[in-house]
């Protein structure tokens, strides 16, 4: 079942319907490489790097990660990343591709020695025309130290997303984060002072109340979220991204939910998103995504290209999408290192994506930005099919979009609906896939097909 229940109108059900995907085991590395080459049809590509290491495990973490205990293993992992970059570099070198974004997510990319990122871009530049700097997600515990932040900046990192989550001590406690509000303030201030071209602040809302541990009422949570938005901009952040807290089955904190110790007001998601929209309007900020507001129409976006591609994902747990072929790397660090050191591909599951899938992905990607234009479909050589036009018409009749020159724009109600459909998609697909694949450490025993 989806995290957020469906509404009564059919368009609401369509937007929030659970997504089901089937993935097939990658059995032949040569065939995989051939399909990657054949299905990249755009010249501009994004690169995503997954760093799965963290200092500790947060209570409701839905991502693929592990606690960093062995720096020797981290070094081998970083070398394996360079090997994987080289593999795809050699494979695609003669296509003259331009790398237009490099984002590093995790895990905790700020745990990696900063000079690695310089080396990584040098490696990419052997094969691609790299037209961008590197964006990394940073933990406030690392970025509270100005010298560390300056070292990242000096290593070619020019965008940062600080994992603040909240400046409120009780909210941080309720999501099991170890850092303190003062670490958050220092990390954002240091990032702005160091000169990064773009500083994003990640915030979490819909945080749970945990009985006998940290008890916050809905109004207190909304108030803390309002203050968090204001504080982020006051400190100089260029962008704020706000996520509803998901409590997945594979997170350490899910046991509390099973014991009935958690209260999460899932029906109140609109309250928080409305708060963000009002704040954006009052502060003259742009709505760059339904979950993101910015000072300029520009966004720090870790894996947006995953939706339409081409995005080359590197690292254990990384997802890639050439546009017409999606593949997922092994979700196990030891296996990832072993496969690359033995000259084998870490891609373990894949699926072909047809033109129909591309049309829907392009539609939902555009909906998440708030505006849908037919010209975008045409620029990719795609016709807008009848069912997409029908959905947009239905959305217009339901008051979720309004016509603008060349397309449709989300109304406030539309933003709320699309926000919930994005959260449901994240809970339905990436989070469930991570849960399923993280359990399968033995590569030789992976099933030939999995359905998520």
- Report, in Å, the least distance between residue 333 CB and ligand SF4: 14
At closest approach, how far in Å is the CB of 168 from ligand SF4? 17
Q: How far is the CB of 251 from ligand SF4 (least distance, A)?
A: 9
Interface pick for ligand SF4 out of 49, 74, 108, 401 (rule CB under 6 A): 108
Nearer to ligand SF4, 57 or 357 (CB): 57
How far is Cα 272 from Cα 276, in angstroms, rounded to an integer?
6
- Burial label, 396 (beta-carbon count in 10 A; 0-12, 13-18, 19+): middle
Nearer to ligand SF4, 60 or 327 (CB): 60
Kindly give, in sequence order, each residue whose CB lies less than 8 Å from that of residue 437, ignoring residues fewer than 6 positions away: 64, 317, 328, 330, 331, 348, 349, 450
Q: Which helix (H) or strand (E) holds 51?
A: strand 44-51
Q: In angstroms, give the least distance from the CB of 355 to ligand SF4.
A: 35
Whole-angstrom distance, CA of residue 319 vs CA of residue 210: 33
Binding-site string for ligand SF4 from residue 132 to residue 161, where x marks contact by CB under 6 A and - marks none: -------x----------------------
Query: Of the two residues 58 and 130, which places its CB atom closer to ligand SF4 in the complex?
Result: 58
Rounded Cα gap, residues 250 and 255, in angstroms: 9
Q: Using CB under 6 A, which residues numbered 397 to 426 contact ligand SF4?
A: none
Q: Which is nearer to ligand SF4, 63 or 242 (CB)?
A: 63
Q: How far is the CB of 65 from ligand SF4 (least distance, A)?
A: 4
The structure tokens 């989806």 sit at 2
Rounded CA separation 345/426 (Å) = 26
- Looking at residue 316, the DSSP 8-state letter turns out to be T
CB of 436 to ligand SF4, least distance (A): 18
**In this chain, which of 107, 133, 208, 315 binds ligand SF4, going by CB under 6 A?**
107
Which one, 54 or 450, has the nearer CB to ligand SF4?
Answer: 54
Q: DSSP letters along 131-148, please?
A: -S-EEEEE-HHHHTSHHH
Nearer Cβ to ligand SF4, position 59 or 78? 59
Output the smallest distance, CB 94 to ligand SF4, in A.
36
* Of 12-20, 104-112, 228-236, 257-265: span binding ligand SF4 (CB under 6 A): 104-112
Residue 204 CB, nearest approach to ligand SF4 (Å):
9
Mark residue 294 as left, alpha or beta (left: phi above 0; alpha: psi -120 to 50; beta: remaining): beta
Instruction: Look up residue 246 and give its DSSP letter.
Output: P
Instruction: Rank residues 164 and 277 by Cβ distance to ligand SF4 and give the closer one.
Output: 164
Give burial (CB, 10 Å; 0-12/13-18/19+) of 150: middle
Q: Are 47 and 101 in contact (CB under 8 A)?
A: yes
Should residue 172 be labelled a site residue for ligand SF4 when binding is judged by CB under 6 A? no
User: Which CB, 63 or 349, lies closer to ligand SF4?
Assistant: 63
Q: How many residues bind ligand SF4 (CB under 6 A)?
A: 10
Give the closest residue to 98 by CA, choosing from 28, 40, 34: 40
Strand positions, DSSP E, 330-388: 347-352, 371-373
> How far is the C-alpha of 314 from the C-alpha of 306, rounded, in Å?
12
Q: Closest CB to ligand SF4 among 11 and 164?
A: 164
Coil/strand/helix, residue 104: strand
Q: Which residue has the tokens 């904190």?
A: 253
Q: How far is the CB of 205 from ligand SF4 (least distance, A)?
A: 15
DSSP 8-state assignment for residue 112? S
64-103 residues near ligand SF4, rule: CB under 6 A:
65
- Taking the complex as a whole, how short is the minimal distance between the CB of residue 93 and ligand SF4, in angstroms? 33
> Which of 36, 80, 104, 106: binder of ligand SF4 (CB under 6 A)?
106
Contact flags string 42-71 toward ligand SF4, x per CB under 6 A: ------------x--xx--x-x-x------
Half-sphere exposure for 143 (CA within 13 Å, toward CB): 31
CB of 63 to ligand SF4, least distance (A): 5
Q: Which is nearer to ligand SF4, 108 or 200 (CB)?
A: 108
User: Which residues bind to ligand SF4, rule: CB under 6 A?
Assistant: 54, 57-58, 61, 63, 65, 106-108, 139
């Amino acid at each position: 079942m989806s995290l957020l229940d469906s509404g009564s109108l059919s368009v609401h059900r369509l937007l929030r319907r659970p997504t089901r995907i089937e993935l097939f085991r990658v059995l032949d590395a040569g065939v995989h490489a051939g399909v990657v080459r054949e299905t990249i049809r755009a010249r501009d590509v994004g690169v995503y790097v997954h760093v799965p290491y963290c200092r500790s495990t947060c209570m409701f973490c839905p991502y693929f990660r592990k606690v960093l205990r062995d720096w020797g293993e981290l070094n081998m992992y970083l070398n394996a990343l360079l090997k994987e970059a080289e593999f795809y570099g050699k494979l695609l070198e003669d296509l003259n591709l331009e790398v237009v974004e490099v984002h590093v997510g995790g895990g905790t990319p700020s745990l990696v020695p900063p000079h690695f990122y310089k080396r990584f871009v040098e490696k990419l530049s052997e094969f691609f025309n790299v037209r961008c700097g590197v964006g990394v997600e940073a933990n406030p515990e690392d970025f509270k130290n100005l010298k560390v932040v300056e070292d990242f900046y000096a290593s070619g990192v020019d965008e940062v997303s600080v994992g603040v989550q909240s400046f409120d001590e009780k909210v941080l406690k309720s999501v099991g984060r170890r850092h303190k509000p003062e670490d958050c303030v220092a990390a954002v201030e240091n990032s702005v002072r160091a000169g990064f071209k773009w500083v994003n602040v990640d915030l979490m809302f819909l945080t749970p109340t945990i009985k006998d541990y940290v008890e916050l009422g809905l109004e207190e949570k909304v108030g803390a979220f309002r203050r968090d938005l204001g504080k982020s901009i006051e400190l100089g952040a260029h962008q704020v991204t706000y996520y509803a807290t998901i409590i997945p089955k594979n997170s350490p904190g899910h046991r509390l939910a099973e014991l009935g110790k958690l209260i999460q007001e899932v029906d109140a998601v609109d309250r928080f998103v409305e708060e963000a929209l009002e704040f954006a309007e009052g502060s003259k900020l742009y709505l760059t995504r339904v979950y993101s507001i910015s000072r300029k129409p520009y966004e720090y976006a870790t894996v947006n290209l995953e939706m339409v591609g081409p995005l080359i994902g590197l690292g254990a747990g990384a997802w890639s999408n050439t546009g017409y072929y999606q593949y997922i790397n092994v979700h196990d660090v030891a296996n990832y290192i072993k496969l690359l050191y033995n000259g084998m591909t870490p891609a373990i599951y894949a699926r072909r994506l047809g033109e129909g899938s591309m049309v829907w992905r392009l539609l939902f990607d555009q909906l998440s930005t708030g505006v849908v234009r037919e010209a975008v479909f045409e620029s990719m050589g795609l016709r807008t099919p009848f069912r997409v036009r029908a959905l947009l018409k239905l959305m217009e009749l339901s008051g979720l979009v309004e016509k603008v020159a060349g397309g449709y724009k989300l109304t406030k109600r539309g933003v709320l609906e699309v926000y919930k459909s994005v959260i449901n998609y994240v809970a339905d697909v990436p989070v469930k896939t991570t849960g399923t694949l993280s359990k399968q450490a033995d590569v030789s025993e992976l099933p030939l097909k999995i359905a998520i």
